[in-house]
Structure 1
Amino acid sequence: MTTAEVFSYLKPGSRLGAYRVREWKGGGAYGDVYRGVKDGKPVALKLSKHRQHSADPGKTDERLLRELVCLVHVDHPHIAKVQGWARTPQGRGYLVLEYVDGWTLAQWLQNARPTFQQVVRLFAKLAHALEHMHGRRVRHRDLSLSNVMVRKVDGEPVLIDLGAGEYSGAQELTDAPLPPGTNRYRSPEAARFFKENQNNPDARYPFPPEDDLYSLAVCLYDALTDAEPARGGWEARKAPRIDVNSPMWAPPSARTANPRVPEALSEWVEKWMARDFEKRRPSLASMREALEALGAQEGAEWLAPVQAPPDTGAVALEATGHPPAKSRRRVLAGAVAAVVLVVGAFALLREAPLREAPPVPGVPESSSDPRAQALQAHPSPPAPPASAVPSPSEVPPAVKESPSVPAPTNPSSNPPAAMPPTKSAPAVSRGFLKKCAEAGALAAALLGCPAQQVQPTQQKCSAAAYESMRRLGLDDGSQVGILVDAKQPFLRSPDECEAAGRMWSDDMGECLTLLGDGKLESETQDTLSRLPEGSRLYGRVWTEGATVVGRYTRARLPNGAEHEVCVSLSLNGGLDKLPGSKPGAALVRPRDGATFFGGPK
């Protein structure tokens, strides 16, 4: 497979089998998703993508086929359906999937401003979908606010992206202790397993179905407590995202974080997110029933929007959806000042379009509307406690579907208009812009104008490197933890990160590293490796592809001795790019790993 095949994107108008490609919708480490059309009907086309670093190209096919098998096993109205699969003339596989015209759950929560009742009923349906999936012995393993869509036409949720999914009896494809996923939504047991086994390449976490439900509980917690769920921790936020992964203590209750949350709902979320698995498991088993009971509540507190109405005195929106003229003048003035200060900063700001938001639905004035009536009526009876919800053994085989989640608009109005894209420019601190002015090379990287780089298509090692690593006791596949860029130290607080002119991720609790194409110097930080801690690895890095790829050719030990080596950046197919990245300026986590190639097998 050539580099062009690995990293090229299909252009609008091109054909993929019998389908015409309309637009690229998104992608990850293992595939890209396009909106396609055949006979006037839209479909989602998921095209497999081989990770540049992977030593086993055959796994690309196996992962796609495993996702296909997972989807064939399930049949549920709230899980995206597979319609077929095929191969390109070059041999790359692709899935033909149901196209969901809507928003991600994060976008829906942030822009539609739903009520507590709407949110709870939607999550009850997702819990039902997971219940069905687990009954078919399939696990999603990567549930997040980005992997749920909310359809525009009816407001119904749809689970998508089973690229990390697994079914019982499937061949093991994970080449790390944990399966692919988002750290925020991992269970405490998974986090503890990784901490204990991060240096054991053979360790594999036995992902239980309860972990999917825990992930759903974290999604619900974010839905109730985060006013900006569609903004990542690396973007400008009004308030930092609450840490839910602390090994020392549980996060504050949903009601503590957001006093608008009904007490009964807050108590259930707290049970579902308990740190102790044995205490959490019984409540997870009754999650769907509890959510359906909570969704039946009709009191004013349940029919109120989850988040308080925005402060219209801050930055009000005109009918066009843009800030008022006075605010626009301030934005333009800031942009002009940025031009004077640094050309690189201006280029970055110029590429960040103003984001238009859909109209925020208010409480209807019509007295016939149920939400308006609720505000005048007495509160409904309190939601049933945990003891009142039947256990799984008491629930009859026929599962009751809760009512449809209303679309996030006035029922008397037309269907909601399409939400605008929520693409945002990364948040950039003043220190970061100052650093751009002082470093011409970094400014050029931010402008997206790095020198032409040729990315390697495969690992090539010299005989001298093989011999050198043999003398060091480094076998093929040996791994070591590293500080990715030794020139960008690991910083432990947002204040230190800001002072250094770098970006802090509240989501990950880390000061992110910015990589450009060219030379790379990393430092080992793994005392269990045969390569001493504090050794330096020297090589090059490429950022134009789907992942950041690096190659090291020289190592310098703490005693000053230098050795020729053959090493790849990352333990799992290249560094994942974080949102806000672009060719020549990739945002990555500050610490990862490196893999040694000790010679032909």
Structure 2
Amino acid sequence: MSTHSPSPSPEHPILAGMVAALNPPDDTSPLPVGTRIGGDVVEGVLGSGGFATVYRVRSPSGYVSALKLLPLDQGPERAERAWREMLLGTRLSHPNLVRQLGAGQWPLENPRYLWVKLELVEGPTLDEWGLAPGRTLGEVVERGLEVARALAVSHEAGVLHRDVKEANILVSQSTGQAVLVDFGVGYHPACPTLTKGMFPPGTPAYRAPEAWAYGRAHAGEPGAHYRAGPGDDLYAVGVVLYRLLTGRFPFRPAEHGGEDVEAVLHRAPLPLHLVNPQVPLAVEEVCLRLLAKTPEARYPDAVTLCQVLEELRARTDVDWTRVLHPERWRPMKPWARWRRVLAVVGVGLAVALGAWWLGFGREVAPGGRTPEPVRAVAAPSAEAPPPPAAAPPLALRKDSVPVKQQQTSGPQSEATSKRRGSAVRTACLGLTGAALQACLGTPQQVPSEPLAPPPQACPAGAVETMTNTLGLRIGERNAVDWSDVRGRSVHVQEDATLRVGGDWEAGANRFGKGWKVALPNKTRLFGRLYVKEGRVYGRFTEARTPQGVLYPVCLELLDTGGNVGLELQPGSGPGKMMVDPVVEVRVVDRFP
């Protein structure tokens, strides 16, 4: 799996599996090209994370690999973690596991670093590969089988991965197989426990129900620490398979961001064939068993999972060539739901106008004027939206139809008016919900205002990650944006993501030697927006770097003047928020 291709960019996906997310050494200057470490020559930096820098190196024979440099002089805990990662790698050898090629200390005199040389796997992360258009059912199940084989070998060696996710699985360009990387947070009984928090390092969306249950049962208990087992890795494989097969996670995020722990603990995931009809029941059964609420209800071990997937793959009654995602599938977002509603409204209005035209259009007095009912339903100018109008009652009353009539007199006019109202009401009867309200009433021009979320604690580990790992300070602010749009308002949705435009640097007062990059350029911030009293507020609970590293965060949305929330801009409408393109976020230790 080696390669002699040109040096990869800093966004190479290998970083997702090679860069641990802990504090960096004080000396963050990269080694110059040409530096020799363990006989290899440094050709460039693949990337740097909180705890290590990863270099592209070449051996005297021309073999290109990745060399991870971990500090030894940052305290006993850091040194222990470095040795731990190296020792775990020596226990593992398999085509579906990243291969450790060597290790040592550097410099030879007064060593300050431990270096670990790893196989350089060229290829996309599993989600980039699996959600691409045209990917077949057979290919996805085959990658899942390869991940199960990797876990079977590592578990047999007594090593738990503890952070199985798509970003830590690469699909090799040379072999086409899945390769499990990043054992930086792995566990072996011979290695001491270094984690001080409730949970081991990992990604909340892939955390097993038994871990969440332990966290609830021991909340606030000093020294409580959840001990992961093989069932945790198997549950994470279930999340990976569910996402590859359907394009979404088994459980939606909580209403105001973060994981919906109630759903993970007590609700069954939506059956896969309902989300994606291309998923056969035989494959769905395996995935849902991996997502069972207790480890006992899942497969007993990774070896059994391998056997099940091998038998499944050998079945001839399943069409393994069926395409899972003809187009890149995305879960429906709030704006998409509004599009559907507006489409139904449009059909309803067309029916109503058609009924008016066929029923009595010829009875309207001539003269070339636009018929009054058409003007009554025409969209108002976006430049000056009217104030919100109260939604009309759903009951169909004779006096509730807001259709203007021609001001004529006499019996014929009265009859025409009655027929006109009857026709419109009949056309509206076929609609429901928001479509019926739109047909019978004046549409609002300001987004509806759901109840503002109550005060909320930050996600588990967010404050510690922001202050200790990233070096950010509570109250610190940074400019971010929605996209490359400038000079005009942008349309954002309830679950819109923000982008860090340029490196977000942590202050020098935390690390003593200059500045460090806390969140790199193009990091995405995920959270939720809501509207209250004409302003948009936001809570962001997860940051994802371009290399796929996830951090729990606690950030609130500000305008560029430092005020909480954003002013709605002209053009806002139902389910449509128009805001300034450049905003700020502030580091907080609790959402007010």
With the length of structure 2 as denominator, give the TM-score of the two structures: 0.52
Residue equivalent to 1:384 = none
Q: Name which of 102, 108, 113 aligns with 1:84.
A: 102
What is the root-mean-square deviation in Å for CA atoms of aligned residues? 4.6
Residue equivalent to 1:140 = 161
Residue equivalent to 1:456 = 510
C-alpha spacing 1:241/1:183, structure 2 compared with 1 (3 Å): closer
C-alpha spacing 1:5/1:298, structure 2 compared with 1 (3 Å): farther
Work out the CA distance in 2 between the residues paired with 1:226 and 1:192.
27
After superposition, residues 37-76 of structure 1 pair within 5 angstroms as 37-39=58-60, 40-48=62-70, 57-76=75-94
Residue equivalent to 2:191 = 170
Residue equivalent to 1:280 = 298
Residue equivalent to 1:206 = 227
Work out the CA distance in 2 between the residues paired with 1:451 and 1:141.
29
After superposition, residues 29-40 of structure 1 pair within 5 angstroms as 29-39=50-60, 40=62
Gaps of 5+ in 2: 1-22, 330-479, 491-497, 514-525, 545-549, 563-582
After superposition, residues 287-436 of structure 1 pair within 5 angstroms as 287-298=305-316, 301-309=319-327, 427=482
Are 2:219 and 1:184 equivalent residues in the alignment? no
Are 2:140 and 1:119 equivalent residues in the alignment? yes
Corresponding letter in the other structure for 1:495: Y
C-alpha spacing 1:450/1:265, structure 2 compared with 1 (3 Å): closer
Structure 1 residue 130: Cα displacement: 0.9
Conserved? CA contact 1:115–1:302, under 8 Å: yes
The structure whose Rg is larger is 2
Conserved? CA contact 2:103–2:115, under 8 Å: yes
1:511-554 deviation per Cα after TM superposition (whole angstroms, max 9, x unaligned): 951699xxx9xxxxxxxxxxxxxxxxxxxxxxxxxxxxxxxxxx
Residue equivalent to 1:500 = 537
Structure 1 residue 100: Cα displacement: 1.0
User: In structure 1, the residue corresponding to 2:228 is in which secondary structure?
Assistant: coil
Structure 1 residue 208: Cα displacement: 0.9
Structure 1 residue 58: Cα displacement: 1.5
Work out the CA distance in 2 between the residues paired with 1:194 and 1:104.
30
Work out the CA distance in 2 between the residues paired with 1:291 and 1:249.
25
Residue equivalent to 2:114 = 93
Conserved? CA contact 1:3–1:457, under 8 Å: no
Corresponding letter in the other structure for 2:55: Y
Structure 1 residue 78: Cα displacement: 1.1
C-alpha spacing 1:227/1:187, structure 2 compared with 1 (3 Å): closer
1:277-301 deviation per Cα after TM superposition (whole angstroms, max 9, x unaligned): 3322448662111111222235673
1:27-76 deviation per Cα after TM superposition (whole angstroms, max 9, x unaligned): 5443232322222211111122589xxxx722222112111211111221
User: In structure 2, the residue corresponding to 1:247 is in which secondary structure?
Assistant: helix
User: In structure 2, the residue corresponding to 1:286 is in which secondary structure?
Assistant: helix
C-alpha spacing 1:170/1:496, structure 2 compared with 1 (3 Å): farther
Conserved? CA contact 1:227–1:307, under 8 Å: no
Conserved? CA contact 1:102–1:150, under 8 Å: yes
Conserved? CA contact 1:67–1:166, under 8 Å: no
C-alpha spacing 1:282/1:80, structure 2 compared with 1 (3 Å): closer
Structure 1 residue 13: Cα displacement: 5.2
Work out the CA distance in 1 between the residues paired with 2:509 and 2:276.
48
Are 2:531 and 1:513 equivalent residues in the alignment? no
Work out the CA distance in 2 between the residues paired with 1:280 and 1:120.
18
User: In structure 2, the residue corresponding to 1:167 is in which secondary structure?
Assistant: coil
Work out the CA distance in 2 between the residues paired with 1:259 and 1:242.
25
Residue equivalent to 2:417 = none
C-alpha spacing 1:586/1:166, structure 2 compared with 1 (3 Å): farther
Conserved? CA contact 1:429–1:503, under 8 Å: no
Name the count of aligned residue pairs. Answer: 361
Work out the CA distance in 2 between the residues paired with 1:451 and 1:160.
28
Residue equivalent to 2:271 = 253
C-alpha spacing 1:228/1:426, structure 2 compared with 1 (3 Å): farther
Work out the CA distance in 1 between the residues paired with 2:99 and 2:551.
36
Corresponding letter in the other structure for 1:141: R
User: In structure 1, the residue corresponding to 2:298 is in which secondary structure?
Assistant: helix
Work out the CA distance in 1 between the residues paired with 2:323 and 2:245.
10
User: In structure 2, the residue corresponding to 1:269 is in which secondary structure?
Assistant: helix
User: In structure 1, the residue corresponding to 2:88 is in which secondary structure?
Assistant: helix
Structure 1 residue 15: Cα displacement: 4.6
* Larger RCO (alpha carbons 8 Å, 6+ apart): 1
1:249-290 deviation per Cα after TM superposition (whole angstroms, max 9, x unaligned): 132122222111111101111111011333224486621111
Q: Name which of 37, 40, 46 aligns with 1:25.
A: 46
Work out the CA distance in 1 between the residues paired with 2:113 and 2:248.
41
Work out the CA distance in 1 between the residues paired with 2:503 and 2:228.
43
C-alpha spacing 1:449/1:259, structure 2 compared with 1 (3 Å): closer
C-alpha spacing 1:270/1:27, structure 2 compared with 1 (3 Å): farther
Work out the CA distance in 1 between the residues paired with 2:482 and 2:221.
36
With the length of structure 1 as denominator, give the TM-score of the two structures: 0.51
Residue equivalent to 1:263 = 281
Conserved? CA contact 1:68–1:95, under 8 Å: yes
Conserved? CA contact 1:80–1:98, under 8 Å: yes
Conserved? CA contact 1:109–1:223, under 8 Å: yes
1:176-229 deviation per Cα after TM superposition (whole angstroms, max 9, x unaligned): 121111111111111222233343341121211121111111111111111799
Structure 1 residue 119: Cα displacement: 1.1
Corresponding letter in the other structure for 1:57: G
Q: Which has the higher mean CA deviation after the structures are superposed, 294-303 or 167-176? A: 294-303
Conserved? CA contact 1:84–1:97, under 8 Å: yes
User: In structure 1, the residue corresponding to 2:166 is in which secondary structure?
Assistant: coil
Percentage of pairs with the same residue: 27
